[in-house]
Amino acid sequence: MKTVSDGVRRRFARGAFVVLTLLGLSATMALAHDVTPGDAGYIQEIWGVHVIPFIYLGAKHMITGYDHILFLLGVVFFLYHMKDVAIYVSLFAVGHSVTMLLGVWFGWGINAYIIDAIIGLSVVYKALDNLGAFQRWFGVQPNTKAATLIFGLFHGTGLASKILEYRIDEDGLLPNLLAFNVGVELGQLTALFVILIVMGYWRHNPNFMRQATYANVVMVGLGILLTAQQIAGFVASA
């Protein structure tokens, strides 16, 4: 039961961002015969191969996962060509798929607060990178493709620790996990489609570059907030 109650505390630790999670996700409570509602509850009631439900759950997880979406937004913020978008998003997808699948398969039990804090830092990093902070501070531009791939690996580890909390049945685990991964990518593409429309309109605005500075400063702040909440959650749980 430890994993479930940890999950609850971490969700509450996310405070202001609970708004963004879908109905039911945030209301995991241990009651009489341990009713776990929501997605985890559904998963804990079933066994065997359920491809489409797991695709749905993967997509939902990505679309409601504001930390992943923020990072994705940071990555594509200054990518003006579809070819670049495709390359960077693929790097991110490869990164998070590798660690997500391996993490669940081998049951890597990495503390979810720590990994989520690192994911928060990935948002900070990418927003600072967009602001040109590394060029200004250190006189170098770190490889943006490598950073996308490496942070993708961390995002996948975070996904894996969430999936482990779901306790998917052994019966049908591999097909269900692959379906979940497909869903994560579909959810990412759906989110990306919307992001690119909004960015497309925004980039036509003559003040785009100035507003981009503010937007990335806000993203640094949100990333720090996410990180701080996870650290607070870790301290509270330790």
Partner 1 sequence: MHNAPKPNLEDLPTKSQLRRSALIASIGAVAIGVMVYMPAELGRDPTGVGTLLGLTEMGEIKQQLAAEAAADAATHGQEESSLMNDVFGLFVSTAEAQETWKDEIVFSLEPGASTEIKATMEEGATLFYSWTVEGGRINFDLHAHAGGQNVSYEKGRGDKRGRGSFTTPFAGDHGWFWRNRSKGEVTVTLKLRGEYSAIVRGE
Contact residues for partner 1 (CB under 8 A)? 1, 22-24, 27, 29-39, 41-42, 44-48, 50, 52-53, 56, 60, 77-78, 80-81, 129-132, 134-136, 141, 144, 169, 171, 190, 193-194, 196-197, 200-201, 203-204, 208-209, 212-213, 216
Q: How far is the CB of 36 from partner 1 (least distance, A)?
A: 7
Residue type, 52: I
Distance of alpha carbon 108 from alpha carbon 162, whole angstroms? 11
Q: How far is the CB of 4 from partner 1 (least distance, A)?
A: 11
Q: How far is the CB of 135 from partner 1 (least distance, A)?
A: 6
Task: Report the Cα–Cα distance between both ends of the chain, in Å, rounded.
Answer: 16
Q: How far is the CB of 231 from partner 1 (least distance, A)?
A: 27
Return the number of the residue (78 or 234) whose C-beta is nearest partner 1: 78
Return the number of the residue (33 or 107) whose C-beta is nearest partner 1: 33
In what helix (H) or strand (E) does residue 160 lie, and over which residues does it extend?
helix 144-166
Return the number of the residue (138 or 238) whose C-beta is nearest partner 1: 138
Return the number of the residue (132 or 235) whose C-beta is nearest partner 1: 132
Asked if residue 100 lies in contact with residue 68, where contact means CB atoms within 8 angstroms, the answer is: no
SS3 content of the chain, % helix, strand, coil (to 5): 75, 0, 25
Environment class of residue 140 by beta-carbon count within 10 Å: exposed (0-12), middle (13-18) or buried (19+)? Answer: exposed
DSSP string, 93-137: HHHHHHHHHHHHHTT----HHHHHHHHHHHHHHHHHHHTTHHHHH
Return the number of the residue (109 or 141) whose C-beta is nearest partner 1: 141
Q: How far is the CB of 77 from partner 1 (least distance, A)?
A: 8
